[in-house]
Amino acid sequence: MATWQQAQGTLCYIHYFSALRPEASYGSCRHDGDIIISFGRLVFWLLETRIVAKAAYRSSASDRLLHEFAVYNLLYTLQGVVIPSLFGLYRNLDDGSSILVTSYAGVTLEDFDALSLPDRKILLLRVARLHQMGVLHNDLEPRNVVFSKRSGPRIIDFDSATLGHTCTGLSCKELYDLAHRLRLDLGAELSRPEPSRPTRFWFLVTSVYVFIFFILSMAMYRVRYTA
């Protein structure tokens, strides 16, 4: 059985990834260059949630996942609302491969026109919130936006993102280009608050679930290897 190391902030511990039990039951796998993206479930006893697992088997691809992990950590307060929730980054100590696990946040857009006018406005303001946190996405294409009726549009795939961005608002090229593609007036939208959606409750539920999962998994590890 392969041994995995989990990185979570400054805390690292050895963990057996089989406890996550990702299963390809919600669709399929696809490739993004050297990264394989799989859809499945995270199962612990009777608890279950849908996940997305991004696997890298080359050092360059693993570096991309490590960078994306850093972005997710920086955007902690936006997880479960603007972006998916982060479950963890795991590194196989045997072959050096890595897996980044996040919550499943919806169906990938084929085109921005698939969004209603209210959801296009929400997307623009959510990207603006990324900028407020110092993150420039650098690849705002429909394939990097997912949608669910409950949560609206969320932004994914941050391996190309730039940190330390100082947003200039109306003169920000990424916001300007996105507003143009969404057929929105950037100035008018930035002056409005984001329309509310009932996402915070689900974010809290997911956060509690993840906390319980890691506490129990660490406890099981200690029982198994200290007995």
pLDDT of residue 211: 55
pLDDT of residue 217: 52
More reliable by pLDDT, 215 or 77: 77
For range 12-35, the mean pLDDT:
49
pLDDT of residue 8: 45
**Would you say the C-alpha torsion 36, 40, 46, 47 has a positive or negative sign?**
positive
Contact 74, 134 (CB under 8 A): yes
Q: What is the mean pLDDT of the chain?
A: 80
What domains can you pick out in the chain, each with its CATH number? 4-105+205-219 (3.30.200.20), 107-190 (1.10.510.10)
| pLDDT tens readout for residues 54-68 | 999 988 899 999 999
pLDDT of residue 225: 35
pTM of the model: 0.76
Contact 120, 183 (CB under 8 A): yes
| pLDDT tens readout for residues 157-214 | 999 999 999 999 999 999 999 999 999 999 999 988 776 655 555 555 555 555 555 5
